[in-house]
Structure 1
Amino acid sequence: MGVVSSVPYRFIEPQRIDVMLPAWVDRLPPQYDTVVGYTDLGNAFLFSTRTGEYGIFDPYSPGVKSYGAHTDLDTFVDRVLFDPGVVTYVLQPGHVAEIRRRLGPLQPGEVYIATPYPFLGGSETPDAYQKGGVWSFFDLVAQAHDPE
């Protein structure tokens, strides 16, 4: 087995929000038009090509916290993803490590998904997670917020 990264997030080639998060496009702040990555626990990193603003989208809440404009992705990482509050409450590396010990490392395009979702009464204890596809996860959470 190769080296397992302990960094609890992944970056992707920037993709349009309407393509990657179609169920959320009308619910997200309009300045964001691009997805640039996601955390192991299913938060998305959003970007505005117009303003240079970055935000972190929590689909469980749901909401986007803006972290302001940054000159590039490296600056966003340095100033935001290493911020102790973001590490503690968003990235949760210790929690992710416990889940990873139980379920194994994620494959590209996977996230750890709390079941049931926290807003539906899930506990978010390490044994309450399973693995799933990140983009399907976002669609399913949107549907759970808005059952028809």
Structure 2
Amino acid sequence: MRELECYKIIEPVSSNAIGHWIRDYPLYEKIVGYSNLGHVFLFSPSQSDYAVFYPFKAAAKSYGTFNSTSEFEQEILQEEGFKHFVLNEDHVREISKLIGILNEDEVYIPRPYPFLGGNEEVESYEKGNVWTMLTLVSQLLADSA
């Protein structure tokens, strides 16, 4: 049986997709992937720096400089602690069993969102478009700020 993938590496796209937050992270011009739970992997071409953006927390964390996205993937995304604490692979596995595997551009989204009182229980998730989720969360958090 194939190991469950908890993230997807994509052809780089503009980081404008994370909404108004891009103003806080102007050097991270590209999105190179996202997790099944909606974390976004950002890349700064000028610094070769990779960061993970946490939409529900409206925050990002740099994970350092890497020579390639593949190196970032091997050193960070496939690291056991990151898989457990950030990608939350056990949680993703339970959600996947309940509502099925994701299609192109889909992520698992808790309803309601955690910052609106959601508890992120397995039963609270549904599938949704990652880009739509990022837009909605950006707008909702901007309105509540």
SS at match of 1:6: coil
Q: CA deviation at 1:46?
A: 0.2
Residue aligning to 1:66: 62
Cα RMSD for the two superposed structures: 1.6
Q: CA-to-partner distance for each residue in 1:24-83, whole Å, 9 max, x for gaps?
A: 322x32221100000000000000010000000000011111001100011101111122
> Please, what TM-score do these two structures have when normalized by structure 1?
0.91
Aligned length: 144
8 Å CA contact 1:4, 1:105 repeated in 2: no
Residue aligning to 1:9: 7
**Amino acid in the other structure paired with 2:10:** I
**Counterpart pick for 1:137 among 118, 133, 136:** 133
Question: Does residue 53 of structure 2 align to residue 51 of structure 1?
Answer: no
Runs of 4+ in 1 over 4 A off after TM superposition: none
Q: CA deviation at 1:101?
A: 0.7
8 Å CA contact 1:95, 1:126 repeated in 2: yes
Residue aligning to 2:21: 24
**Amino acid in the other structure paired with 2:21:** W
Structure 1: unaligned runs, 5 residues or longer = none
8 Å CA contact 1:40, 1:112 repeated in 2: yes
> Please, what TM-score do these two structures have when normalized by structure 2?
0.93
SS at match of 1:36: strand
Structure 2: unaligned runs, 5 residues or longer = none
Over the matched positions of the two proteins, sequence identity in percent amounts to 38
Residue aligning to 2:115: 119
Distance in 2 (CA, whole Å) between partners of 1:142 and 1:5 is 32
SS at match of 2:91: helix
